[in-house]
Structure 1
Amino acid sequence: MKTLAMVAGEASGDLLAGLLLDGVQARWPQMRAPGNMVGIGGPQMLRRGFQAWWPSERLAVSGYVEVLRRYRELVGIRDQLRQRLLRERPDVFIGVDAPDFNLDLERGLREAGIKTVHFVCPSIWAWRPERVHKIKASVDHVLCIFPFEVELLSQHGIAATYVGHPLANVIPRTPDRVAARAALGLPPDAPVVAVLPGSRASEVKHLAERFLRAAALMGRARPELHFIVPAAPGRRAAIEQAVRRVFGASAQPNLHILDGQSHQALTACDVTLIASGTATLEAALFKRPMVIAYAVHWLTASIMRGKKLQPWIGLPNILCRDFVVPELLQDEARPEKLAAATLAWLDDPARVAALQTRFDALHAELQRDTPTLAADAIAQILPA
């Protein structure tokens, strides 16, 4: 292989893509040459020598209403990218997550004879099962991060490989809480709550103030609590505005906004109040109890309810096939309920211990040599 093109949307896709590039570059060292890896990517990909024609944050949008507002912009980027890739004809195109953007792009490229791979199976097992037909038409191979997905795709004649979840190798089986607290300047023995309102602008808009009002309630009930709020790239200003709306101009000595450092925050905390998404799986791999919440535009929520196939939305619950952690969605995600559910974990060490045992078993199941397995699967579809 001489050249590849990739598209990764938002922070989680950038992380996954960066790890995949490790395997690609180990198998094909020439890929490190400038201009051999191109498309849409973020900091993790750039660190591996990827050339980003657009930054991945341009694709960071969620929900039907939010997508509609930026529809022309997103379609414009995709059309320009497709035309450029059809001219340059990479050996393979790899779409990392972002199925609403990538599957249509992959279909056009595949029809033109370019090999296509999709990394992270769209969650057809959770909602929108009709997308399986688009997957079959769009991709030559799917790299699956959950073991049950390969058999599901094979039932529809779609080639797939289970490569494990890359985060299971990045996150240690036994996180060092003491070191993380020291690095963040937190007291070694104080109870710590990590507040993660999401990485997308729409998530911060809908969740940051709710989460911070819940933190205010918890802080009044238990003044010894410390709160850490990792701000995703480009989201610090919005979170600081939410802090001012909730707390006013007064200083909050026990509330610390971090620039990124979500993994440090999850290592350091006792419990996390967290937006539904990949971060909830990260919290599970850090063996942290959590309260999952989500809120979107009411119309988006209404449409999504009609397409939902399972009773859970949080990845830890989906993978454990049970409500092992609470989920509070839409109107249920009220500050008082969020605060009560979060504090409940601090009062029940036996419940926390049982959850950590379950999460450790999940960690072992997801731990594979993802970069190598992914590169091997990609090699299978390339011309001899």
Structure 2
Amino acid sequence: MLKIAMIAGEASGDMLASSLIRAIQNQYQGEVEFVGIGGKMMQDNGFKSWHKMETLSVMGYIEVIKSLPEILKVRYSVLKQLLEYKPDVFIGVDAPDFNFFIENKLKQAGIKTVHYISPTIWAWRYKRIFKIKKSTDLMLCIFPFEEEIYHKVGMAAKFIGHPMANDIELNIDTLKYRKLLNLPEDKTIITILSGSRIREVNSLAEILSQTCHKIAEKIPNCLFIYPFASQHTLAIMDNYLNENKPDFEYKLVLNQTRDTIKASDMVIAKSGTVSLETALCKKPMLICYKINKFTEWMLRRMVTIDYVGQPNIIAGKEIVKEFLQEDANPDSMSEYIIELFNNQQKRKAMIDEFYKLHYTLLQDGSTEGAKAVLDLIHNRVND
């Protein structure tokens, strides 16, 4: 029997790991046992979870500090179990702080280790790569340029594609999603992605509201949609808009972000993964972000890339206009969106770049990842 151990720390990792489990089961001609820490999707595919994944699904400094005793208890316990279990391979899915520690201890014990999704060493704190190399035998990468970064330090890495590129269809039927969400077909819909964190929504609420106001003055028949992934962040924006009584038409939606993007004509997106999601949905957009001065000063000392938007980072050039810090203001952003609305050629050029991006990232990630994992195990068995 092939023994594979995995640890996923949150919902996105649970999804990635469950897909990888299915691909390994399809490729391996024999019985496989999957154990470790995982969520419902993994367990639905035959995974046995030794601990609750929710213990590791903690975000925010205060929350992490409060949960630290329990996290450390789980870390010690699962490490002891893994060393006794002696899997043929261990796969850490994201959760780098937790998983790299586990990977290091297991590799020292002679167990092959894999990490799925590279931390952003290409953006900041590059020197982490040397600790990663000591802990991990194989890195599975979701961006094409990451593979070469690891190869330069003599570490095995494989680009297997971005999971979102597989999840999002190449050609978006905008009308279909408007009907799905019961949105009007005759309006110009602009989706406003203000972030998934409380701090982000608080810092951008006023700027985005004023931007919408200026856009509505120049683009008739506009509807602004604000999608949110949590009731808490939705409530923050709802309270702000109710208090300030904006003179533009808007709607707030919960847990329908991707469908809302697909239903829109244009998007204003906070920097982050959602900017890549918007690009893969082929929607003309801008990227904005605003942080406090001290955080900006700290990041400028550490960040080593020219762009913050993931579409631009992957393309190696600015295909989406970035409005950061002082540039993230209502005048500049509204002026750009209005120009984009009135310039069909400019919108088409951006969409063409998004198609190129989608094709670059569109790989059969789980199948390729499973093949790489099984190859690694095979090499170990032959030793």
The letter for the 2-side match of 1:240 is A
Matches within 5 A, 1:182-331: 182-222=179-219, 224-232=221-229, 235-248=230-243, 254-331=249-326
Alpha-carbon distance between aligned partners in 2 of 1:231 and 1:56, rounded to the nearest angstrom: 24
Matches within 5 A, 1:166-185: 166-185=163-182
Alpha-carbon distance between aligned partners in 2 of 1:349 and 1:112, rounded to the nearest angstrom: 59
CA gap 1:199/1:26 in 2 versus in 1, 3 angstroms: farther
Q: Give deviations 1:281-322, integer Å, cap 9, x for gaps.
A: 111111112111223344332211111112101111111211
The letter for the 2-side match of 1:263 is R
Matches within 5 A, 1:1-384: 1-9=2-10, 12-27=12-27, 36-39=34-37, 41=39, 45=42, 48=45, 51=49, 53-55=52-54, 58-61=57-60, 67=61, 69-73=62-66, 75-89=68-82, 91=87, 92-222=89-219, 224-232=221-229, 235-248=230-243, 254-382=249-377, 383-384=380-381
8 Å CA contact 1:12, 1:278 repeated in 2: no
8 Å CA contact 2:208, 2:330 repeated in 1: yes
Q: CA deviation at 1:163?
A: 0.6
Identify which range, 186-195 or 240-249, moves more after superposition.
240-249
Alpha-carbon distance between aligned partners in 1 of 2:342 and 2:56, rounded to the nearest angstrom: 39
Q: Give deviations 1:197-227, integer Å, cap 9, x for gaps.
A: 2233443343345434433443354451112
Q: Give deviations 1:34-83, integer Å, cap 9, x for gaps.
A: xx444255x7556656646132883344xxxxx4x445246445422321
Provide the identity percentage: 32
Q: Give deviations 1:102-124, integer Å, cap 9, x for gaps.
A: 33343234334443221122222
Output the TM-score relative to the length of structure 1. Answer: 0.85
CA gap 1:173/1:194 in 2 versus in 1, 3 angstroms: same
CA RMSD of aligned residues (A): 2.9
Q: CA deviation at 1:179?
A: 0.5
CA gap 1:231/1:26 in 2 versus in 1, 3 angstroms: farther
Structure 2 unaligned blocks of 5 or more: none
Alpha-carbon distance between aligned partners in 2 of 1:286 and 1:132, rounded to the nearest angstrom: 32
Q: CA deviation at 1:143?
A: 0.3
Output the TM-score relative to the length of structure 2. Answer: 0.85
CA gap 1:17/1:342 in 2 versus in 1, 3 angstroms: farther
SS at match of 1:180: helix
8 Å CA contact 2:269, 2:275 repeated in 1: yes
Alpha-carbon distance between aligned partners in 1 of 2:202 and 2:18, rounded to the nearest angstrom: 28
8 Å CA contact 1:213, 1:246 repeated in 2: no
The letter for the 2-side match of 1:23 is A
